[in-house]
Amino acid sequence: MAKLIHTMIRVRDLDASLRFYDEVLGLKPAHTLDFPDFALVYLRNAENDAELELTLNKGREEPYTHGDGYGHVAAVVDDVAATHAALTAAGYGPLPVKEFRVGEELLARFFFIQDPDGYKIEVLERHGHYR
């Protein structure tokens, strides 16, 4: 059986991306590979087996296009409102908190935020299916 180990995204400003993923999701470098033309930095925290791989292609100036296939990366937190307030205060500009409900039943409470390269991240409250 296969095990998901990482998801890769390309970034233009590695320092800005490292700061963003640390401050927003608590992900820190676990492994770094630095080559003449590119660098790979694998991020994780104690809650994760899988890693987020940041790929920096050195010398790239133009933004990456996300096409129409990329959707988002999702993470869970204990308190969406508190996380949203902290990220707003830090100047990250998350979108408003939303809820999915079926009748009165709460299915999900979440918001979206974008990283320095425009990748969307869904931040969900730990609840129901989202653990």
Catalytic residues: 122
Residue that has been written with the tokens 């993923």 in this structure: 21
CB 117 within 8 A of CB 17: yes
Here the tokens at position 6 are: 């990482």
* Parallel/antiparallel/unpaired status of strands 105-114 and 98-102: antiparallel
SS3 string, 4-28, reads CCEEEEEECCHHHHHHHHHHHHCCE
- H or E stretch including 86? helix 80-89
